[in-house]
Amino acid sequence: MSKLIKEESLTDKDESAEAHGKCMLNRRKFLMYSGGTAAAASTVSITLFAGTAQAETRKASVQGYPRKKIATLSQLKDHQPINFNYPDDGKNSQAMIVKMGDVQAGGGVGAKRDVVAFSYMCTHQGGPLQTTYKHVGDQRVMGQCPLHLSTYDLRRHGIIVSGQAYQSLPQVLLEVEGDDVYAVGIMGLLFGRQDNLSA
Structural domains for the chain? 2-49 (no CATH), 68-187 (2.102.10.10)
Say how far apart CA 141 and CA 132 lie, in whole Å: 8
Q: Judge residue 197's burial from the number of C-beta atoms within 10 Å of its C-beta, 0-12 exposed, 13-18 middle, 19 or more buried.
A: middle
Active site residue 135: no
Active site residue 124: yes
Considering 20, 79, 135, 148, which one is annotated as catalytic?
Answer: 148
Q: Extract the residue ranges of the chain whose pLDDT is less than 70.
A: 1-27, 29-56, 58-63, 199
Considering 20, 124, 135, 157, which one is annotated as catalytic?
Answer: 124
Beta bridge partners of 185: 173
* Nearest Cα residue to 171 out of 92, 75, 96, 78: 96
Say how far apart CA 151 and CA 158 lie, in whole Å: 9
Say how far apart CA 20 and CA 29 lie, in whole Å: 18
> Would the pTM count as exceeding 0.75?
no
The pLDDT value given to residue 198: 79
The pLDDT value given to residue 102: 85
The pLDDT value given to residue 25: 64
Give me Rg for the CA atoms of the chain: 32
